[in-house]
Structure 1
Amino acid sequence: MHLLPARPLVLALSIAVALSACGGSNSDAPLVIPAAPADQGAPETVAVPSATAFVDTIASNQRGDARYATLATNAGVRVLGGFLSIWKPLTELVDAGQSAPAVDGFPAVTASKWTGVPGDGSPDGTVLNAAVHQANIDYVVKATANRTPEQAQQAYLDDRRGKGYSVSDGMGPLTAAYRAAAQQTTTITSVAADATTVLYNDGGNNTGVGGSANASFGAVVDLVNLVGNNASTEPAKRFYKYARPYRWSSSVAVLPALVPAKSSTPATDGGYTSGHTAEAVRDAIAMAYAVPERYQEMLSRGLELGESRILAGMHSPLDVVSGRMLGTASAAANLADPANAAKKTAAVSQAHSALMAATGTTAGTFAAYAQSGTVANDRFADYAANKANYLRRSTFGFAPIAATNAAAVVPKGAEVLLETRQPYLSDAQRRVVLKTTALASGYPVMDDAEGWGRLNLFAAADGYAAFSGNVTIVMDASKGGFHAVDRWRNDISGAGKLVKQGTGTLKLAGANSWSGGTEITAGTVQGDSVAALGAGDVYNSGGTLVANAPAALKLAGKYTQLSGSTTLELDLGGAAAGAPGSLNVAGTATIAGGTLRIKFANGYKPKAGEVLNVITAGSLKGKFNTITVDGFSTVTPNYGATTLTLTLG
C-alpha cells in the first residue's frame, strides 16, 4: 500500500499574515489546510491467465508441422481457436493409415482430403454459424465492389511488396531516413500496365540489411526480423482449411492486377489466417518498439495493410482479425524472450542515434519532428482518423455473438508491447493499462482464452482507461523521451487515486471521471482538457499543476496548494473568467503559498491595465507567495471570496 506522509492541518498564523501582504484580501483567519485525497489502497494487478501461454509455447508453431498441427500441439493454431465456433474443419492426415485422437470434440479421422474448393463435393468442413460466415464473405463482396482507385493501388502494393518495406511508411516524416538507414529496397513501385496478366514479385530486400553489414542500423533490422521467429501462419491455414473469399463467392471482385497472384492449388492456399496481415502487424510492432515516437502510427499502418487484403479480395475480415492476433502474439513472444534483451536495447539505441543524425534532431526535438507531418505528407498525421480506423479494423463491424461485458484478461508477456512506449511504468502497471483499454468481449474469433484478440494497443498507448487503488506514476525527466513527457488521451474512469511523483511531466487530455483524486508530490501534471483531472480533489504538495485546456480547467472537487516548491501554471488564452487556461474549482481552493505563474497561449497578448480573471472557486482561501506573469514586471492581485484577478501594470 502506498503510504503518504502526515501533513499539518493548520498553517501558522505568522505565515497567514505574511501571505496577506501579497495584495487584496479574502480572509485574515488562520488557514485550515484540507487533508490530501484519501489513500485508495493497493494498486490493481492483473493476473496471468491460466491458459497455456503462447509466449511459452511459440516454438511449437513450426511450418513443417503444418500437416499434423492441432490445438493441443501448436500455439499458432490454438490462439486462433475462437474460429471453431464459426467453422468446423476436417482433420487432415495425408498419409493413409495415420490417425489422430479427438481434440476439442473433433473425432479421430484418417486420410481426409483438403480440397480448398468449397462445395465441390468434398467439403473441407462445416459452417457452424451461418450468419457470421455469410457476413464475413458479404463484407468482401461489398468492399471489393466499392474500392476506390487509391485503395486498389494500395492493395496491389501491399500484396506484391515486402511487408517490412510497405509498413515502414508509417514512419511519416521519418520514412525516408528510416528506409535509408535500414537500406530497404523494393522493385514494386507502381502497378504495371500488364499486371493483369504478368505476376510481378518484389526483388527488393524487404526489411533491409541487418547485422554487421549495416553498422549503424543493423540492430534495428535484426529486431524486425526476429519477431518473425516461429511466427508461421501455415499450420493455422492447414488446420482450419477455410477457403479464400473468392472461392466462397464469385461476387468477390479480386483486384484485376492481382489475378496472376491467385494460387492454382487451393489445397495449399487457405484463407484463415492472413499471412500478409500477421507479418505486417508483427513488423509494425517491432518498428514501433524501436521508434515509439511513431507508435500509434505504426500500429495503424499494420492494420491498414490487413484491410488491404480484404480490398484486394484475397482475404476475409476474419482472416485479417486472426492475422492481427497471431502477428501480435508472435511479436510479443519474441520481444519477451530473455535471449533477445540485448538485441532490443541495441535496436532502440541505434534507431534513435541514426534517425536523429539523419534528421538533424536531438533528444529534445526528435519526438516533435517525428510528429511534424501533415495530412498532405503523412497519411497517419490525423490522430482521430487513426483511432477510428484502428477500432474499425479491429472488428470490421461484426455484431457480437456472445456477452460484451466479460472481464478482460491480459496474455502473459503482452506487457512487453508497451515497454518502450511507457518506459516509466512497471510491467505490472503496463498489464493494467492493457486490461483497462481492452476491446469489448463477444466478437467472433477474438475471445481467445489468453486475451490476444481483445488487446487494443492503440488505446493502450494513450495510458490508463481506469484507475483502481493508488496509481503512482514516477517519471524521471533526466532519462529523456517519454520518461520526461508523456500524454494520456484516454477517458479515465474508476475510483482510484493518481499520485504523481518524479521530475517528468504527465499530460492528461481525456474526458476523465475518476473519483479518488490527484496528488502531485513532484514533477508536473498538465490538464490539456476541461475534465482532465477527473471528479476528485487535487492536492499539490510538491510539484506543478498546469492548466492548458481549451476552456477553463475544471476541478470537480477541491484544489489545495501547499507552500514550498509548488506551482500553479495557467496558460491563458484570454482575460475572461472561463477562458482557456484559467482554473475553475467547484469546491474550495486553498492556497497556502507557492507560486502562480501566468503564461499566454494561442496568440493571446494582453496589454498593461488589463484585468485577468485567473481563478474561480466555490470558495477561495489563502494566497500565493509569488505571482509571475510573462512579459509584465508589475502585477496586482485581487483576492476575492471566490475569485482571483490580476491587474497588469
Structure 2
Amino acid sequence: MGALLLLNPAAGNIAMAAPAEASIELPEAPAWGHFVDSYKNNTSVNMDVYSNPAIGVLSGFLDLWKPGSSWDNGTKLNSEVLDYNIQYVADLAESRTEEEEIAAYYDDRRNQTYGAADGLGSLADVYREKSGTYTTITSIPDDATTVKYSDGNGANKGGNSDSELGKMVDLIGTLRGNYASTNPAKNYYSYMRPWRWLDESVIVPTLVPARSSTPATDGGFPSGHTNASYLASLALAYAVPERFQELLTRASEMGNSRIVAGMHSPLDVMGGRVMATALAAATLADPDNAELKKAAYDQAHDILLKETGTAEDRFSDYEKNKEEFTERLTYGFAPIASTTKPMVVPKGAEVLLETRQPYLSAEQRREVLATTGLPSGYPVLDDPEGWGRLNLFAAADGYGAFNDDVTVTMDAYKGGFHAADSWRNDISGTGKLTKEGTGTLTLLGSNTYSGGTELNAGTLEGGSATAFGSGDVLNNGGTLTENVTGKWIIGGSFTQAAEGTLELNVASSDDVLEARGEVHANGTLEVNFTDDYKPGKGTITLISHDGNERTGQFVDVEINGLPSSYKARVVYQSDKILLKVTSSSDSSSDSDSDSDDSDSDSNSDSGSDSSNDTDNNGTEGPQAPETGVNPFQSNAVSRDEVLKAVNDAIAATNGGDQSFSDIGDHWGGDFIAKAVKLGIITGYENDTFRPNASVTRAEFAAMIARAFALEPQPASADFNDTGSNWAAGYIGALADKEIINGYADGSFKPNKPVSRAEMVAIIARVLNLDALATGEPASFTDVSGDYWAANAIEQASSAGLVQGTTDSSYAPNRPTTRAEAVTLIIRALESDSSIKALIERL
C-alpha cells in the first residue's frame, strides 16, 4: 500500500458532524422463515415451498411455471418469458465459438472448486498446490464426443484439510456442505433442461455423453453447477477479499458456461446464483462457523497472499468484469412486474461484505447492499427477502447512494481495506459523507450526492470530476487529494482549516480544481507534477472560483516534480489561484503578483481610483549614490534622451511650484514635488495628490515612460486588453523595450494595482542594478531567497532605491502607493550624477 501518514483528528474543527446511523429494516420472515435461520432445512425431507428455504427463495419461478405431476407435464404460466429462456440457449448454440465450447467442457467436467480458483488470478496455481486442489481433466480426449469422462471417477478434488491452506479448503467445503444441494429444488420445480425442450444439437458435442438418461431426477431449475461455482467463489472471496469481484466474475462465467454447454437455461443459472448467495450468507453468518472463517482469512493472508504467482489472470480488466457480471444478473429479460418496489436486504446478507468492507459497520454494509441492488420486477429475482436483487459486484464498489449521513472510519494500522479502499459507484442521495480515521478512501464515481463532504483525518481522494458530489467540501484535518485528468469540480464551497492539506496532482495544464462556491484557503497546498508533465514557463491555473469569492491563503506550499532549473510560486487573483513557473536563471516577470485583481478603472494619467493604502515607512530613506557609470540599460533607455527630457522639463517649469492640499509634511513630499515639475505625474482637479492611493499598472507604465523619455508607441499586439486604454501608447513603448510583459492569457491587466515587488522588477529592467548595488542590502523578513523578485529587491535595496517598513519587512505583495512610485522613479533618475545635478536645480 506504500507508506501511510498517520494523522490525528485536529482539535478545533470548523464543524463536526455526528450523524445517527441509519437503519435498514429487516424484511418480514416468509413462510419458510428467514433463510439464515432456516438454511439447514434444505433437505430432501422438506419438499415444499413452506418448509424448505431453498425452494422458497426461488418461489418467484412459480409465477412463470406450474410444476406437474411428472417431469414432462408442467404448465407454462408465462410463455413469453419461458420461450425466451429456451430460445436464448438455441441462439447461443448457433453462435458459440470453439474456445467457448472448450471452456464449457472443462467447467462441466472439473470440480467447481478447482474452476473457481481461476478467480485468484496469478495465485490460482499457488492456491491449488498449497491446498491440494487438483483435477484429472487436463485435456479433452479425442473420443470425448462418445465417452463420458469424469474428474477422478467422481472423487472430490476440492482440496485437503491437512494442507497449508486447509482452513480455506474447509471453509469452501462447509459452504458447499450438507445443506447446499439443489436437488430438492430441482425435484420440486421439475423444469426440463433446454436440450429436452429442444434437442441434443444444442449440447456442446464433447458433453453429449454427459447428459443424464433419467429425466425425472434431472431437472434444470436451478443449476447445480452454478450454485456450487458461486459457493466456492464466495468462500474464496471471503478469505481473499482482495479478489472479491474477480472471483464473482469467475463464478458468473462458470454459470454462463452451463448455458453455452446447452445443459441449462438463463433462468436455471439465475436461480443457482440466488440460491448460492443465500446459502453462502447463511453459512458465513452461522456462529458455529465463526472460528473457521477467521482461520481461513488468516491463512489466506499469512500464507497465500505472501506468495508470487505466475498463472494467467483472465480477470484483470475491471470494466470487462463489471459488464459481463452485470449482464448475467438478468440475461436480458424484461421486467414482468413493478420496477419501483423498495429494495429490501435479507437478514444476515451483510456478512457477505464483512471482509471486503471491514471498516464499515454491519448496518452500513446493509446500507451498501440496499443502495446497490437491482430494480424490482425481473423474473425469479423478486423473492420476499431480497436475495435475488443483491448485486454483490456493485456492493464491493461501495455505496450507491447516501440516503442518510454516512461516517466512514478507516484505521490504516489495521492494514488491508482498513488502510485504503476505492468506491467506484456513482453515488447519489441527499446525505453527507464524513471521513474519519487514518486510512485512505478514494471516490471514483460520477457522484451527485448533495449533503456535502467532510474530512477530519486520513486521506480522501477524488478520482473523478465530480467525486465529491454537488455539496460543500470541508477539510478539517486530513489530506484531500485530487487525482483527475482535466477539471475537478467541487459543487459547493471549499473550506480548509489550518490542519488540512490539499494535494493537487497536475498532469497537464487542463488539470484544474473548479470550486462553484466560496473558497476559504488555509493549511497546506501540495502541488505534484505527475505523468512526466513538465510545464513551460508561465502561469497554470490550479483553482478557479467566482470573482471575489476567496478568503485566506494557504500557509504552506509544497511543489514537487519540477525540474531543478525551474521554480514556482502561488499567485492569488480575484477569481483563481495560479502557479507561476519561471526558470531559476530568469528575472521574474513584472506581472507576478500575490494581490488580488483590482477592478478600479483610471481614465486619465493623473491618478487612481483605488482606495488609500498605508504609507511606506514615514521617512524619506537614503538617496541613490553618485556613480561614475551609466546606470541605464543600453537596450531600454538612452541616457542622452533622458538628459534632454530633464533639461526640457526644467526649462518648462520656469521654477514654479504646484502645491497640494494633502501633502503637508508627508515623507514623500520632496519626491512628489520633483516628479510633478519633471512632468512625470500631476495631481487631481481638487488640488490633491492622493499620495497613499495605489498605482495601477497602466499608471506606472505612463510614469516610467515619461521619466525615461520613451515616446508612446502603438498599442502592443502582445496584450489583448490595452487597445482602448488611455495608457496604451505608454504600455506599448515599455513593451517594445521589454521593460514590461503580461500574463499567460495574453492580458496586461492595466487597471490592476502594481505591487511593490512588481515595481522593483520593472525598474530593474531600466537600470543597471548590478553596477548600482554597492551598498549593504537590507535583510527583509518577508522576502525569502526563493521569492520570484528576491534578487531585484536585494539589489534595489543595496543601490539605495528602496527600503522596508519599520518592522524590517518589505511588503512585496502590497500595492504600490503613488508616493512610493514617484520616489523610486526620482531615485532611479538621480542614480546618474549628471541627471541628479540637473534635478537639484529645480
TM-score class normalised by the smaller sequence: 0.7 to 0.9
Does 2:42 align with 1:61?
Answer: yes
Does the CA contact (< 8 Å) of 1:278 and 1:326 recur in 2?
A: yes
Partner residue in 1 for 2:169: 221
Tell me the secondary structure at the aligned position of residue 142 of structure 1.
helix
Does the CA contact (< 8 Å) of 1:165 and 1:206 recur in 2?
A: no
Structure 1 range deviating more: 174-183 or 477-486? 174-183
The separation in 2 between residues aligned to 1:551 and 1:177, in whole angstroms, is 41
Partner residue in 1 for 2:22: 44
Does 2:575 align with 1:625?
Answer: no
Structure 1 residue 504: deviation in Å? 0.4
Structure 1 residue 201: deviation in Å? 0.3
Where relative contact order (Cα < 8 A, 6+ residues apart) is larger, the structure is 1
Partner residue in 2 for 1:282: 231
Does 2:493 align with 1:558?
Answer: yes
TM-score (norm: length of structure 1): 0.84
The separation in 2 between residues aligned to 1:46 and 1:601, in whole angstroms, is 43
Partner residue in 1 for 2:794: none
1:266 to 203, 209, 215: 215
Q: Deviations over 1:138-197 (max 9, x none)?
A: 111111111111110111100000000011111112212222221211011222110000
Partner residue in 2 for 1:403: 338
Does the CA contact (< 8 Å) of 1:40 and 1:496 recur in 2?
A: no
Return 5+ residue gaps in structure 2 as ranges. Answer: 1-8, 585-842
Correspondence list, 1:206-245, <5 A:
208-211=158-161, 213-214=162-163, 216-229=164-177, 230-245=179-194
Correspondence list, 1:312-461, <5 A:
312-359=261-308, 377-461=312-396
Q: Deviations over 1:552-577 (max 9, x none)?
A: 2111111000112x100001102x3x
Q: Deviations over 1:101-138 (max 9, x none)?
A: xxxxxxxxxxx4x2x3x3xxxx1x21111111111111
Correspondence list, 1:88-127, <5 A:
88-90=66-68, 112=69, 114=70, 116=71, 118=72, 123=73, 125-127=74-76
Tell me the secondary structure at the aligned position of residue 571 of structure 1.
strand
1:189 to 130, 135, 138: 138
The separation in 2 between residues aligned to 1:514 and 1:78, in whole angstroms, is 37
Does the CA contact (< 8 Å) of 2:449 and 2:469 recur in 1?
A: yes
Partner residue in 2 for 1:101: none
Percent identity over paired residues: 50
1:567 to 501, 524, 535: 501
Partner residue in 2 for 1:643: 576
Does the CA contact (< 8 Å) of 1:244 and 1:270 recur in 2?
A: yes
The separation in 2 between residues aligned to 1:177 and 1:206, in whole angstroms, is 19
The separation in 2 between residues aligned to 1:469 and 1:292, in whole angstroms, is 27
Partner residue in 2 for 1:611: 539
Q: Pick closer, same or farther for the CA change 1:142–1:475 going to 2, 3 Å.
A: same
Does 2:530 align with 1:601?
Answer: yes
Partner residue in 1 for 2:727: none
Partner residue in 1 for 2:459: 524
The separation in 2 between residues aligned to 1:603 and 1:233, in whole angstroms, is 56
Question: Which is richer in strand?
Answer: 1
The separation in 2 between residues aligned to 1:404 and 1:421, in whole angstroms, is 29
Q: Deviations over 1:338-370 (max 9, x none)?
A: 11111111111111121233229xxxxxxxx9x
Does the CA contact (< 8 Å) of 1:207 and 1:224 recur in 2?
A: no
Does 2:80 align with 1:152?
Answer: no
Q: Pick closer, same or farther for the CA change 1:487–1:511 going to 2, 3 Å.
A: same
RMSD across aligned C-alpha pairs, in angstroms? Answer: 2.0
The separation in 2 between residues aligned to 1:151 and 1:256, in whole angstroms, is 12
Structure 1 residue 265: deviation in Å? 0.7
Does 2:538 align with 1:590?
Answer: no
Partner residue in 1 for 2:664: none
Return 5+ residue gaps in structure 1 as ranges. Answer: 9-34, 91-111, 361-368
Give the letter aligned to residue 537 of structure 1.
Answer: D
Tell me the secondary structure at the aligned position of residue 268 of structure 2.
helix
Q: Deviations over 1:264-298 (max 9, x none)?
A: 11111000110000000111111111111111010
Tell me the secondary structure at the aligned position of residue 467 of structure 1.
coil
The separation in 2 between residues aligned to 1:69 and 1:294, in whole angstroms, is 36
Partner residue in 2 for 1:256: 205
Q: Deviations over 1:424-463 (max 9, x none)?
A: 0000000000010001110000000010100000000000
Partner residue in 2 for 1:143: 92
Does the CA contact (< 8 Å) of 1:437 and 1:465 recur in 2?
A: yes
Tell me the secondary structure at the aligned position of residue 644 of structure 1.
strand
Q: Pick closer, same or farther for the CA change 1:344–1:248 going to 2, 3 Å.
A: same
The separation in 2 between residues aligned to 1:243 and 1:209, in whole angstroms, is 33
Does 2:430 align with 1:495?
Answer: yes
Structure 1 residue 631: deviation in Å? 4.3
Tell me the secondary structure at the aligned position of residue 178 of structure 1.
helix
1:171 to 101, 120, 126: 120
Partner residue in 2 for 1:83: 61
The separation in 2 between residues aligned to 1:84 and 1:622, in whole angstroms, is 66
The separation in 2 between residues aligned to 1:206 and 1:541, in whole angstroms, is 57
Tell me the secondary structure at the aligned position of residue 558 of structure 2.
strand
Partner residue in 2 for 1:548: 483
Structure 1 residue 550: deviation in Å? 1.6
Does the CA contact (< 8 Å) of 2:440 and 2:459 recur in 1?
A: yes
Q: Pick closer, same or farther for the CA change 1:464–1:206 going to 2, 3 Å.
A: farther
Structure 1 residue 5: deviation in Å? 11
Does the CA contact (< 8 Å) of 1:207 and 1:221 recur in 2?
A: no
Structure 1 residue 620: deviation in Å? 2.4
The separation in 2 between residues aligned to 1:262 and 1:636, in whole angstroms, is 74
TM-score (norm: length of structure 2): 0.65
Structure 1 residue 206: deviation in Å? 5.5
Structure 1 residue 250: deviation in Å? 2.5
Structure 1 residue 252: deviation in Å? 5.5
Structure 1 residue 36: deviation in Å? 4.9
The separation in 1 between residues aligned to 2:343 and 2:97, in whole angstroms, is 37
The separation in 1 between residues aligned to 2:280 and 2:200, in whole angstroms, is 35
Does 2:416 align with 1:481?
Answer: yes
The separation in 1 between residues aligned to 2:155 and 2:196, in whole angstroms, is 32
Q: Pick closer, same or farther for the CA change 1:337–1:460 going to 2, 3 Å.
A: same
The separation in 1 between residues aligned to 2:296 and 2:347, in whole angstroms, is 23
Tell me the secondary structure at the aligned position of residue 298 of structure 1.
helix
Does the CA contact (< 8 Å) of 1:40 and 1:497 recur in 2?
A: no
Q: Pick closer, same or farther for the CA change 1:414–1:69 going to 2, 3 Å.
A: same
Does the CA contact (< 8 Å) of 2:493 and 2:519 recur in 1?
A: yes
Give the letter aligned to residue 80 of structure 1.
Answer: L
Tell me the secondary structure at the aligned position of residue 545 of structure 2.
strand
Tell me the secondary structure at the aligned position of residue 611 of structure 1.
strand
Structure 1 residue 385: deviation in Å? 1.1
Aligned length: 564
